[in-house]
């Protein structure tokens, strides 16, 4: 014999919490739908009527009423789901971000800025942290850091002898006009 589904008596705080949740426009849709199921049961609806009106299954209505009876409003929230555990610890993630924010020259490296390939090689060789460049990019984006696509120079060029190595400009190139002072 199937036990009849019933909702326990609600406290004043739970009634106020349900009303607030039902009016909230920024709450997740699933949470509002679950609160609506509980509210209708509180208003005296039968489980079968909720199934027909909301177009949900009877096991779904049973699940949310049972969890609400046991846990209150917190029972309507999603529980953690199973899945693959995090690959990198928070310490390793912090190390990746800290190295990316450090100037390579301060670490004794012969280049002025990081690329994903350079960062991956450094972390693997020097810090013994094998991590893919795509994962490095995800971690940095997750921290709100933007990655530069190419190196640029500010102020002096990296090579001080650049002008001598380059040689004179082509005779076809017009000379630059000097700005008026």
- Mean pLDDT of the 154-164 span: 66
Choice between 137 and 159, residue whose per-residue pLDDT is larger: 137
SS3 110: coil
Residue 164, pLDDT > 90, answer no
Which of 45, 76, 107 finishes a domain?
Answer: 76
**What's the domain range around 68?**
12-76
Q: At what angle do helices 90-101 and 133-142 cross, to 10 degrees?
A: 90
pLDDT confidence tier of residue 145, bands split at 50, 70 and 90: confident
Which of 49, 76, 103 finishes a domain?
Answer: 76
What is the C-alpha separation between 110 and 52, in angstroms, rounded?
70
Residue 117, pLDDT > 70, answer yes
Q: Does one domain contain both 72 and 95?
A: no
- Per DSSP, helices labelled H in the chain are 12-23, 29-42, 47-54, 58-71, 90-101, 116-125, 133-142, 162-166
In a domain, 85, yes or no: no
In a domain, 81, yes or no: no
Residue 149, pLDDT > 70, answer no
pLDDT confidence tier of residue 9, bands split at 50, 70 and 90: very high
Query: pLDDT tens, 12-47?
Result: 999 999 999 999 989 899 999 999 999 999 999 999
pLDDT confidence tier of residue 54, bands split at 50, 70 and 90: confident
What is the C-alpha separation between 93 and 99, in angstroms, rounded?
10
Which value, to the nearest 10 degrees, does the dihedral of the CA atoms of residues 85, 87, 93, 97 take? -130
Query: pLDDT tens, 59-114?
Result: 999 999 999 999 999 999 998 888 888 788 899 999 999 999 999 999 999 988 89
In a domain, 178, yes or no: no
């Amino acid at each position: 014999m199937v036990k009849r589904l019933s909702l326990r008596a609600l406290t004043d705080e739970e009634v106020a919490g349900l009303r607030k949740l039902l009016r909230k426009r920024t709450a997740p849709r699933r949470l509002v739908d679950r609160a609506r199921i509980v509210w209708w049961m509180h208003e005296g609806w039968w489980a079968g009527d909720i199934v027909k009106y909301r177009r949900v299954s009877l096991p779904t209505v049973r699940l949310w009423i049972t969890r609400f009876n046991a846990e209150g409003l917190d029972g309507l929230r999603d529980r953690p789901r199973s899945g693959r555990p995090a690959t990198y610890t928070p310490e390793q993630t912090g190390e990746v971000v800290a190295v990316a924010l450090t100037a390579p020259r301060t670490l004794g490296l012969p280049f002025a800025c990081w690329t994903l390939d350079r960062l991956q090689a450094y972390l693997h060789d020097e810090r013994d942290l094998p991590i893919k460049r795509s994962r490095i990019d995800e971690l940095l984006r997750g921290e709100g850091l933007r990655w530069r696509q190419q190196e640029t120079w500010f102020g002096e060029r990296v090579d001080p002898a650049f002008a001598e190595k380059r040689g004179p400009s082509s005779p076809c190139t017009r000379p630059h006009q000097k700005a008026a002072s």
